[in-house]
Amino acid sequence: MIVGVQPLAGFDKLLHYQVPAALRAEIRTGSLVRIPLGHRQHLGLVMAVNAIADCAPEKLKPLTAVVHDYPALTADLIGLAKWMHTYYAARMESVLEAMIPGAVRDGARLKTEKYLSLVRELTTTEAAGLAKRAPQQARLCTFLTQQIGPVKKSLVLTRLGLTAAVVAALVKRGLVTEVARSVERVAYADNWTGGEVVNGLPPPLNREQSTVVDSVAASLSKEKFAVHLLHGVTGSGKTEVYLRAVEQVLAAGGSAIYLVPEVALTPQTVARLRGRFASAGHQTVVWHSHLGEGERLDGWTALASGAARVVVGARSAVFAPMRDLRLIVVDEEHEPAYKQDETPRYHGRDVAVYRAKLAGCVCLLGSATPSLESFANVQAGKYQLNVLTKRVDDKQLPDIHVVDMRIEVVRQRGLVTLSRLLVDHMHRRFERKEQIILFINRRGYSSSMQCRKCGHVEQCPHCSVAMTYHRADETLKCHLCGHARGAPAVCPACAAPDIRWRGLGTQRVEEAVRRVLPRARLERMDADTMAKKHLFRQILGDFRAGKIDVLIGTQMIGKGLDFPNVTLVGLVDADLSMHVPDFRANERTFQLLVQVAGRAGRGDRAGEVVVQSFTPKSEAIQFARHADYNGFAEVELAMRKKFNYPPYRHLIHHLFRGPNQEKIKFFAEHWVKQVEQELGGVVEIRGPAPAPIEKVKDEYRYQIWYFCARATTVVPALVRLQGAVKWPADVTQVLDVDPMSLV
């Protein structure tokens, strides 16, 4: 028997090995194996069983071990790996490394211990029969009945004086399960639920929810590939729909993946799933980058071995080794956080849809502000649309007040952090002991230029994106097409002087709040806080428990969190996300406003939102104010169509970087000519142009954008063309397919 193995050893080539007779029974496609390579042992993945070797079979070396007795990659994951390798132009090894956690790849190194537990209690007749035919097995069953949880196998065997064969026999009968746990496992950090009261009993569905649940249930029972897009306003009870779908899958013996965009959202979701399914004996596995090695290994093992059938996690949980996958839920599917910004640069939602296709299962995407990509897929008839138009219990959506900061600046004579309206509302809510969230937009940065009198932002005449301000040479540049002009000294629209934009930091806002509400308990949550592993959980926990009155933070607190006592949300600088040089800027702003507003008034009291902006009449703000998603989507899609931007075409980003600016520029320009020659008919090229941040860590950066109808054909063509060029060692290139951010 010969197998094709992809080594995890730093190169992309399938190697062939003999399988020794003793290992043949265990080997499967997707098995993690040890292989001799050079003078060392490496890990590899079996990509093909009964492969045809490219040399005489007797010359092949035998592989040395099979690491687990179940495959590390299921058949659909292997298909997915191949697709990601081609679609995202990612090295096969990097894809496999993303799929199989480091702890598992090192799995052989981490010591594991087997634990036993009883699958179910025996009936009296069964017990009597077993006691007669196999007294030792009966003794083990009785012992396990008396235990509260799983017990260490080695301990049980010595204690009862039994052999492993007794356990094996019971496992075969399906009465006992054996689960491997790593010895160095850390306590489950995810037991933290943020103080949320979790109700195990499902609430009765309202009429809209029932319709959606039935529609998804119909797809699930067909056991075929289908994608549903659940568009439900904030607080409409989308989670309940996901839970019902998961419930149906578990009842049918299948398994489910539940993706959330942020690690910060996993505890809340895990608590909800455990609250619902733990009593039925289902283990919910948590999967994200903040886990310890031991926890990760345990979680992975539980899923791969079939002991657990539900996983909740951020992006990479889409690769969980599920058996009989029936459902993938992608909550907040519009979130750019689903896109990974390092190799392999995949989009978690898109990968989820593709995996569902390979596995022949249902993918359920949900959002209050669906991405225009997904919405266009609904219009094209590829996805089924389900809607929840009302908040649960007919709670009102919050009122959104838009403050015109141009007027505010004149009124208060100078740079304003908090408008009068916002301050008034803060006083009122604080006195009533209600909670406040102030939101600062960190997406934009000072490189866009906005007039503080009229709000004008200069756009590229060719690309419909904001121009980037370069302080060094006082120019405005479009980083899509390279169009440049001198930076204006006065506003081109209203001729006001001094149009430099200065953003607000979280700290500035904090100082302003302290002046306004000196007695309030404040907490800041930004990138610095997030860096500390448990701090964000603690802050969110304290906030939920009412120990904090005002929470100030960036995007992360705008996402999906459910705090019933928050009645006022302020968005301090709505403009910053709108005037970044990105064609998705409007979509981001709209999403941000609706999502942020969605944090207010989720409890019994009505909520309010104050949005501060220098361009209060802009479409994104106006549509968000009226919670009009369809109106927004229509206008925005028309704009995308006009410029032929995604979702109507794919976008690919190509970055060149290196220490020598001339060289980078030369190679980028030379390359563009080649692409034009070879692929001119199928791609539209913009650039090369200097990247918005031209120099990072002493490396100069140039970029090219390709627009194309089909990434599946263009990406491999680009890769082939790259292979035909001899590149100098100090020119590094990065291809990013379907990038979610242009800045």
Interface residue list for ligand ADP (CB under 6 A): 203-206, 209, 232, 234-240, 392, 562
Q: What is the C-alpha to C-alpha distance for residues 717 and 685, in angstroms, rounded to an integer?
A: 14
> In the bound complex, what is the minimum distance in angstroms from residue 545's beta carbon to ligand ADP?
17
> In the bound complex, what is the minimum distance in angstroms from residue 270's beta carbon to ligand ADP?
14
Pick one of Zn ion, ligand ADP, none as the site partner of residue 236 (Cβ within 5 to 8 A by kind): ligand ADP
Residue 704 binding Zn ion, by CB under 5 A: no
The answer to whether 573 touches 503, Cβ cutoff 8 Å, is yes
Residues 517-556 that bind Zn ion (CB under 5 A): none
> In the bound complex, what is the minimum distance in angstroms from residue 462's beta carbon to Zn ion?
4
Of 481, 496, 635, 639, the one binding Zn ion (CB under 5 A) is 481
Closer residue to ligand ADP, CB minimum distance, 232 or 616:
232
Pick one of ligand ADP, Zn ion, none as the site partner of residue 591 (Cβ within 5 to 8 A by kind): none
> In the bound complex, what is the minimum distance in angstroms from residue 91's beta carbon to ligand ADP?
37
Closer residue to ligand ADP, CB minimum distance, 100 or 368:
368
Closer residue to Zn ion, CB minimum distance, 376 or 484:
484
Q: What is the C-alpha to C-alpha distance for residues 668 and 686, in angstroms, rounded to an integer?
A: 12
Pick one of Zn ion, ligand ADP, none as the site partner of residue 442 (Cβ within 5 to 8 A by kind): none
Residues 6+ apart with CB under 8 A from 179: 114, 115, 117, 150, 301, 302, 305, 307
Q: What is the C-alpha to C-alpha distance for residues 143 and 581, in angstroms, rounded to an integer?
A: 67
Closer residue to Zn ion, CB minimum distance, 465 or 569:
465
Closer residue to ligand ADP, CB minimum distance, 391 or 701:
391
> In the bound complex, what is the minimum distance in angstroms from residue 470's beta carbon to Zn ion?
14
Residue 485 binding Zn ion, by CB under 5 A: no
Candidate segments 226-234, 324-332, 479-487, 673-681, binder of Zn ion by CB under 5 A: 479-487
65-66 and 32-37 strand pairing: antiparallel
Residue 483 binding Zn ion, by CB under 5 A: yes
Closer residue to ligand ADP, CB minimum distance, 239 or 377:
239
> In the bound complex, what is the minimum distance in angstroms from residue 78's beta carbon to Zn ion?
42
Pick one of Zn ion, ligand ADP, none as the site partner of residue 462 (Cβ within 5 to 8 A by kind): Zn ion
Collapsed DSSP state (helix, strand, coil) of residue 424 = helix
Closer residue to Zn ion, CB minimum distance, 480 or 513:
480
Residues 6+ apart with CB under 8 A from 92: 6, 12, 81, 82, 85
> In the bound complex, what is the minimum distance in angstroms from residue 188's beta carbon to Zn ion?
51
Q: What is the C-alpha to C-alpha distance for residues 334 and 440, in angstroms, rounded to an integer?
A: 20
| Torsion angles phi and psi, residue 504, rounded to 5 | -100, 140
Closer residue to Zn ion, CB minimum distance, 245 or 478:
478
Q: What is the C-alpha to C-alpha distance for residues 44 and 36, in angstroms, rounded to an integer?
A: 10
Pick one of Zn ion, ligand ADP, none as the site partner of residue 650 (Cβ within 5 to 8 A by kind): none
Q: What sign for the dihedral angle of Cα 14, 18, 21, 23? A: negative
129 CB neighbour count, 10 Å cutoff: 13
Angle in degrees, CA 395, 396, 397, rounded to 5: 125
Residue 45 binding Zn ion, by CB under 5 A: no
Pick one of ligand ADP, Zn ion, none as the site partner of residue 450 (Cβ within 5 to 8 A by kind): none
Q: What is the C-alpha to C-alpha distance for residues 162 and 659, in angstroms, rounded to an integer?
A: 67
604 CB neighbour count, 10 Å cutoff: 10
* Residue spans of beta strands (DSSP E) within 539-588: 550-553, 566-571
Pick one of Zn ion, ligand ADP, none as the site partner of residue 76 (Cβ within 5 to 8 A by kind): none
The answer to whether 714 touches 678, Cβ cutoff 8 Å, is no
> In the bound complex, what is the minimum distance in angstroms from residue 703's beta carbon to ligand ADP?
37
Pick one of Zn ion, ligand ADP, none as the site partner of residue 238 (Cβ within 5 to 8 A by kind): ligand ADP
Pick one of Zn ion, ligand ADP, none as the site partner of residue 562 (Cβ within 5 to 8 A by kind): ligand ADP
Closer residue to ligand ADP, CB minimum distance, 116 or 337:
337
| Torsion angles phi and psi, residue 705, rounded to 5 | -115, 135
Q: What is the 3-state secondary structure (H, E, C) of 637-671?
A: HHHHHHHCCCCCCEEEEEEEEECCHHHHHHHHHHH
- Nearest Cα neighbor of 80 from 100, 64, 106, 103 is 100
> In the bound complex, what is the minimum distance in angstroms from residue 248's beta carbon to ligand ADP?
16
Pick one of ligand ADP, Zn ion, none as the site partner of residue 478 (Cβ within 5 to 8 A by kind): Zn ion
Pick one of Zn ion, ligand ADP, none as the site partner of residue 234 (Cβ within 5 to 8 A by kind): ligand ADP
> In the bound complex, what is the minimum distance in angstroms from residue 384's beta carbon to ligand ADP?
18
Residue 463 binding Zn ion, by CB under 5 A: yes
Q: What is the C-alpha to C-alpha distance for residues 449 and 501, in angstroms, rounded to an integer?
A: 5
Closer residue to Zn ion, CB minimum distance, 85 or 653:
653
Q: Which value, to the nearest 10 degrees, does the dihedral of the CA atoms of residues 493, 496, 498, 503 take?
A: -60
> In the bound complex, what is the minimum distance in angstroms from residue 646's beta carbon to Zn ion?
16
The size of the chain, in residues, is 743
Pick one of Zn ion, ligand ADP, none as the site partner of residue 453 (Cβ within 5 to 8 A by kind): none
Q: Which residues pair with 282 in a beta bridge?
A: none
> In the bound complex, what is the minimum distance in angstroms from residue 598's beta carbon to ligand ADP?
6
Residue 480 binding Zn ion, by CB under 5 A: yes
The answer to whether 88 touches 345, Cβ cutoff 8 Å, is yes
Closer residue to ligand ADP, CB minimum distance, 103 or 270:
270
Closer residue to ligand ADP, CB minimum distance, 392 or 715:
392
Residue 682 binding Zn ion, by CB under 5 A: no
Pick one of Zn ion, ligand ADP, none as the site partner of residue 281 (Cβ within 5 to 8 A by kind): none
The answer to whether 445 touches 470, Cβ cutoff 8 Å, is no
Residues 6+ apart with CB under 8 A from 59: none
Closer residue to Zn ion, CB minimum distance, 27 or 652:
652
Q: What is the C-alpha to C-alpha distance for residues 384 and 646, in angstroms, rounded to an integer?
A: 20
- Nearest Cα neighbor of 369 from 580, 700, 623 is 623
255-259 and 310-313 strand pairing: parallel
> In the bound complex, what is the minimum distance in angstroms from residue 230's beta carbon to ligand ADP?
9
Residue 476 binding Zn ion, by CB under 5 A: no
Total residues binding Zn ion (CB under 5 A): 7
Candidate segments 3-11, 299-307, 480-488, 642-650, binder of Zn ion by CB under 5 A: 480-488
Residue 462 binding Zn ion, by CB under 5 A: yes
Q: Contact positions toward Zn ion, by CB under 5 A?
A: 460, 462-463, 478, 480-481, 483
